[in-house]
Structures are given as structure tokens and as C-alpha cells.
Amino acid sequence: MRDNIGYAIFKKTDTFVIDANGMLEQLKLADNIFVTNIPELKVGEKRICFQRIASNRLKSSIKDAILVTSIIRVEKNNSEGIIGSAIIFKAFQVNEQKIIDGVAYLLNQLKRNFEDEYNLSDTNLGVILPSVNGNFNIFKEEYLQQITSKQNVKCVDTTSLEKGELAKTLHHFYTHPALNHITHLLVVSKHTPAVAFMQNGFEKITIQQLTTPSNNQPEKIALATSYQKENTALKTKLTNTEAEKENALTNKKKYGLFAIISLIVAIIFGVLYFTKTSENNINDFASATGNLYPAKEQIYISHHNYNVNVRSSPIYDEDNDNVKAVLSDGDEVTLLGFDKQTLWAKIRFNENSEVGFVSNKLISKKIMRDRVEKIQRKAKIKNLYYDIPIYNSPKEIGESDVYKDKFQYLRRNHNIYVKSKDLKLNSYSIMYEKNGKILHGYIQREYFEYQ
């Protein structure tokens, strides 16, 4: 399904910044994120827009994809801007509530960053997008209907901006014949004056009235008839394939015994494979069914001053009682998902042998190459007559009087693994084993040699 979905987050101030994947990255739909000619948002005001999109730019009249966008205006340090999130899908119908929850989750995570330490001028949005390869059970088996339209018909609805109604509105938008002609459906608060939108080319509608069976206006009947004709043509096409199916079924019966044997062999290998991998995958299964927004992709630890604490639970503990390990800037880990309440990231680390949580502000999709250079080489402590200090962070080097009680020390010829070089402070991030534990820290170049 990777080619049938895409996710995006974005920010618009004086400039426009977007981070997208899947369809949204392939189609470069930044121009479609904002509906043109709409009144400005007020600070704190939120809007949602459903759009029909052509996934093939050479066939722009065939609207075969649905783009769902959520935006809100935020203010910080006397600066204002619009932040938002989007999900696009095509080919199959979807679980509409998961789409609505998805754009809300991405927007809330982005909003939380800017309410905390991010500035509106930052180009790093600080949010990890869901993987397009993730199995989130979004798609249904029913096909998504394609609409052919060369015109843009824009409508605004002021009655559906409630959590329970948005999923229903989205379902009506791409399935109900009375709404087939609409290419842009903007859903705003009932307290927002619709007159301003109508002055900018929008038609005011009420979704509930258009989709209620008792309201069979002539134009709705005509649209429904057109839709039924398309369905009739599709059924005729399907009927013509019945003979082909019968022939295929006859051929399948000839090889029935072979298929049964193959199935048994496949089951045996499947059981063996599952037994081998179930221990590694049990946390992923729990994530998909528990208190986690699931994800699955390789990311990097990103913090320029200190090692990052990995915790056993997704909360900050001042006493650090839940700290189970530390990682360094630039370390590659596997993202498993985000806690639904705190939005902390759940990760696999230490060569996928351990699982823990880190703040979502301490991870990034890309390694920060302006301050981190990957090394990934085996080395050992030089054969010196004294023990070598391992620091908790690059900036501790040279300040031994302050941080002395926090040091680890390694003896001569102790094996280490050099992960990366800190370019700004000219130190090296290492991983090493001591007392049966895998530890991380920083070391100066003159104290080790590569193997």
C-alpha cells in the first residue's frame, strides 16, 4: 500500500516548510495543502479540508485520490504562522476515523513542539512521520471511486467540525453521489461566519441535509442516477470476466493436490520462522494493540550537548529512577511508535537488543552532519600506564573538576566501538562493554587507536 498513501507536516510563515513522504512527496502537492482564496485564520482557529486530487498530473481531470488537511494558526514571541498536517490516500476506501485521528495526532505533535522550545522560524519541524510501509489497518477492501471533473467546486460546511462527525463527513465526501461534484470541502467551526467564504467563491452547504435519504431533490436524484449507471457498467464488466474465472478455477483443480502440499510446507516454514522471530516482534505487536501510535523506521538520536537518557517508561523522572541506558548524538535506532499520552518515542537500541522511550524532541529523521560524522569502527584504548576517562558528553571534556564523580574509566587495551565524531567539540562517541553492560560515552582521540 506504500504507493497509495502519504503523510505530511508543514509550516507557513514568511516561508513555507514541508516534510512529506509517500504520495505527498512523490506528487509534490505543496500547492494543494492550502486552499486558495479563503479568509485568514485567527490565532487558535482550526480548519479541515477534504480535496479530490489527481494522482496523475497528465490526467488532471481524473480525481482518484483524497487529500485530508488540518491547519491551525499559532502565535509565539509576537510571531504568527500556520502549522498543519495532511494525509493523502487513493485506490481503496479507508477507515475514516483513523485518517481523522492521524491528521489530528500529527498536528498536535507539531503544535506541541512550537508551544515548547521550537520557534516559528525553525526549519526543522521536529516530528517523525509515520512510515508508508506501516500496517495501520487503514485501508478497506472496497475500491475508492474515481471522479472525472475539469472544474473546481468549492464548498464550506459549518456543522461537522466535531470529532464524531468528521469521520462521517469524510466518508460521505468520497462515497455519496450528492457530493460527487465537490472538489474542495472546507469544514470550519459553526462560529465562523460563512459569508466570508461565500465572498471568495465557496458555496455554503449542510452535509447532513445533502446526505439525508428523505431529501431527494431532483439534482441529487440525477447525480445518483449517474452514479448507478457507472456501477451498472462496472457490474457488466465484472460479469464478462466470469467465464475467465471458471477457466481459471478448472486449472486450479488440476493442481489441487500440489497446492495442498505446498500449503503444508509453507505452514511448516511459517511456524519455524515465527518461532525464531516472535521474541523480537512481540513489542511491535503490543505497540499496535496497546497505548502506542505504531511506526517502524530507522531514525537518529539528536542532541548536541549530552547523551540522551533512554527510559523504561514514557515520562520524565527528575530522580532518573526510570533511566535504563544512555545514547549519544547521531546514534541510529529503530522507531517503534509514539506513546498516545505523552508522544514520547519508543525505540529499539543497542543493536536491537533493548527497548525504551525517549522524548520526541531528542530524535530526528536525519543525522545532523554539521555536528556529527559517522565513524563506525572497532578500536581499543592505547597501552598507557593510567586509566582513561570516558565522558558523559562532549562539553564535559576539560572540566574534570566539575564532572569527576560522573566519569567512567577504561584501562589499557579495553575494546571500544567508535560510533561517530563530534565535529564541533572534536571528541568521539563510543560504545563499550563494562561489568556486563553496554555503555556509551565520549573520549578524546589521543587515547585510542583503531584496530
CATH of the domain at 346: 2.30.30.40
Q: Do 291 and 341 touch, CB atoms closer than 8 A?
A: yes
Q: Is the dihedral of CA 172, 174, 176, 178 positive or negative?
A: positive
- Let me know whether 205 and 321 are in one domain: no
- The pLDDT value given to residue 435: 86
- Let me know whether 276 and 192 are in one domain: no
Residue 287 to residue 294: CA distance in whole angstroms: 6
Residue 2: which pLDDT band, with cuts at 50, 70 and 90?
A: low
Domain boundary among 346, 364, 382: 364
Q: By percentage, how much of the chain surpasses pLDDT 90?
A: 24
Would 232 be classed as within a structural domain? no
pLDDT single digits (tens) 376-395: 899 999 988 888 888 877 77
- Let me know whether 260 and 360 are in one domain: no
Residue 116 to residue 106: CA distance in whole angstroms: 16
- Let me know whether 209 and 92 are in one domain: yes
pLDDT single digits (tens) 271-288: 444 444 434 443 444 444
- Let me know whether 255 and 311 are in one domain: no
- Let me know whether 96 and 126 are in one domain: yes
Element (H, E) at 375: strand 372-381
Q: Do 169 and 50 touch, CB atoms closer than 8 A?
A: yes
Rg value, the chain, Cα: 28
Torsion angle, CA of 189/193/195/199, rounded to 10 degrees?
A: -70
Query: Among 109-113, 189-193, 207-211, 267-271, whose mean pLDDT is lowest?
Result: 267-271
Closest to 123 (Cα-Cα) out of 368, 299, 360: 368
Domain boundary among 313, 348, 364: 364
In the chain, the N- to C-terminal Cα span, in Å, equals 45
Residue 182 scores a pLDDT above 90:
yes
Residue 266: which pLDDT band, with cuts at 50, 70 and 90?
A: low
pLDDT single digits (tens) 86-104: 999 999 999 999 999 999 9
pLDDT single digits (tens) 302-319: 876 667 889 999 988 877
- The pLDDT value given to residue 163: 52
- The pLDDT value given to residue 250: 52
Helix, strand and coil in the chain, % to nearest 5: 30, 35, 35
Residue 296 to residue 336: CA distance in whole angstroms: 5
- Let me know whether 27 and 173 are in one domain: yes
Domain total of the chain: 4
Closest to 220 (Cα-Cα) out of 187, 184, 180: 180
What are the grid coordinates assigned to 291, written together? 497505548
- Let me know whether 441 and 380 are in one domain: yes
Query: Among 193-197, 238-242, 248-252, 420-424, whose mean pLDDT is lowest?
Result: 238-242
Q: What is the DSSP code (8-state) at residue 43?
A: B
Would 179 be classed as within a structural domain? yes
Q: Answer yes or no: pTM beyond 0.75.
A: no
- Let me know whether 380 and 258 are in one domain: no
Q: Do 165 and 172 touch, CB atoms closer than 8 A?
A: no
Domain boundary among 314, 344, 364: 364
- Let me know whether 17 and 147 are in one domain: yes
What's the mean pLDDT when you consider all of the chain? 78
Residue 67 to residue 49: CA distance in whole angstroms: 8
pLDDT single digits (tens) 126-159: 888 888 887 788 999 899 988 888 888 888 888 7
Would 236 be classed as within a structural domain? no
What are the grid coordinates assigned to 67, written together? 487529500
- Let me know whether 329 and 440 are in one domain: no
Question: What range does the domain containing 302 cover?
Answer: 291-364
Would 233 be classed as within a structural domain? no
294/407: higher pLDDT: 294
Residue type present at position 435: N
Q: By percentage, how much of the chain surpasses pLDDT 70?
A: 75
- The pLDDT value given to residue 277: 44
Residue 17 scores a pLDDT above 80:
yes
pLDDT single digits (tens) 66-81: 999 999 988 877 778 8
405/42: higher pLDDT: 42
